[in-house]
A = this chain, B = another copy of it.
Amino acid sequence: MKGTVGELGEFGLIRELTSRLTTTPAVRLGPGDDAAVISAPDRRVVASTDVLLEGRHFRRDWSTAYDVGRKSAAQNLADIAAMGAVPTALLLGLIVPAELPATWATEMMDGLRDECQVAGAAVVGGDVVRGETITIAITALGDLQGAEPVTRAGARPGDQVAVTGWLGWSAAGHAVLARGFRSPRAFVEAHRRPEPPYQAGPAAAALGATAMTDVSDGLLADLGHVAAASKVRIDLRAAAFDIPTQMADIGRAVGVEPLQWVLTGGEDHAIVATFPPQRQLPARWRVIGEVQAPSASPQVTVDGNLWAASGGWDHFGAED
């Protein structure tokens, strides 16, 4: 396909975009009508919306259109999984400049579609509008399959804190890209295309998780939301985090303590949950800390100390 979005026109673009989509048995009615119809066997539907802007959430010189699609979908589908639900559908609100190559839009859509397939979902509808800044507004839907939603509010003192998925890889990849490099490839890839552990969300619900969230803003920040919603304190153990050798190498090269990436890097969309104290967890879950009784702030600590947002230990917190 040649030409720009403007040359293709609104209806031409919509035709190109929808022609690339795949479906699932949950899709009762796909794109093309006033609305889509999706199965909700649980009689409840889980729904989440995120907006991504070029320049703020992605850069065309760092990521291909396909990767932007994968990442945009992943971010939303991870929110569904983090409630303990199985993603079913995704709706897209897309703003594109007239001068954008039409292939950028179609490749982005390929990425959305493929990430949906990984999660078992499908793109079921959307809207395309012309505007100045590429903007991707996504709503993801999911089904709880009879489980109760696992919110951020259920963590109890004594609960284990456990995580599954990648931590700090996207942030390390970002550090590499920001310095003009394109390798180590594994980290750059992790930044461009996160791999949320979708299945872990419903699995955690089945394991009796008391609270859960996905790590989108950074482990400490997202556990801060859990601590606030659950009215508890959370303490992590620094020794529980294995720093991969290559991540340590990047840290040395760019002068960053790699634990900083692990604790504060977002966008890998790992899933972190709290579980009752005695609960045996499968090997994919790494126990990283403990829920404690509420006290004065700080709410989330590492080995009892505050970790500074700027990296390293906070000068105003207790020192080791």
State the CA gap A124–B94 with chains docked (Å): 21
Chain B residues closer than 8 Å to A46, beta-carbon distance = 35-37
Chain B residues closer than 8 Å to A212, beta-carbon distance = 34
- A144 interface residue per 8 A CB criterion: yes
Query: A34 near B83 (CB under 8 angstroms)?
Result: yes
Binary contact readout A293-308 vs B (1 if CB under 8 angstroms, 0 otherwise): 0000000000000000
- Return 7 A-B CB contacts under 8 Å, by A number: A33-B83, A33-B229, A34-B83, A35-B79, A36-B48, A47-B124, A139-B139
Chain B residues closer than 8 Å to A89, beta-carbon distance = 47
Knowing A35-B83, A39-B43, A213-B34, the reply to whether A135 touches B141 (Cβ < 8 A) is no
Chain B residues closer than 8 Å to A144, beta-carbon distance = 37
Chain B residues closer than 8 Å to A40, beta-carbon distance = 40, 42-45
State the CA gap A108–B39 with chains docked (Å): 32
Q: Which residue from chain B places its CB closest to the CB of A137 in the assembled complex?
A: B137
- Chain B: minimal CB distance from A157 (Å): 21
State the CA gap A91–B50 with chains docked (Å): 10
- Chain B: minimal CB distance from A286 (Å): 20
State the CA gap A268–B115 with chains docked (Å): 37
In the complex this chain forms, how many copies of it are found?
Answer: 2
State the CA gap A135–B133 with chains docked (Å): 11
Chain B residues closer than 8 Å to A149, beta-carbon distance = 28-29, 33, 35, 37
Q: Which residues of A does B touch, CB under 8 Å?
A: 28-29, 32-53, 56-57, 79-80, 82-83, 85, 89, 91-95, 124-127, 129-133, 135, 137, 139-142, 144, 149, 151-153, 212-214, 229
Chain B residues closer than 8 Å to A93, beta-carbon distance = 49-51, 93, 137, 139
State the CA gap A130–B55 with chains docked (Å): 11
9 smallest CB-CB distances across A and B, nearest first, come from A137-B137, A35-B48, A40-B40, A139-B139, A51-B93, A93-B137, A49-B91, A34-B82, A34-B79
Q: Which residue from chain B places its CB closest to the CB of A39 in the assembled complex?
A: B44
State the CA gap A32–B213 with chains docked (Å): 11
State the CA gap A32–B57 with chains docked (Å): 21
Query: A139 near B49 (CB under 8 angstroms)?
Result: yes
State the CA gap A127–B50 with chains docked (Å): 5
Chain B residues closer than 8 Å to A153, beta-carbon distance = 33
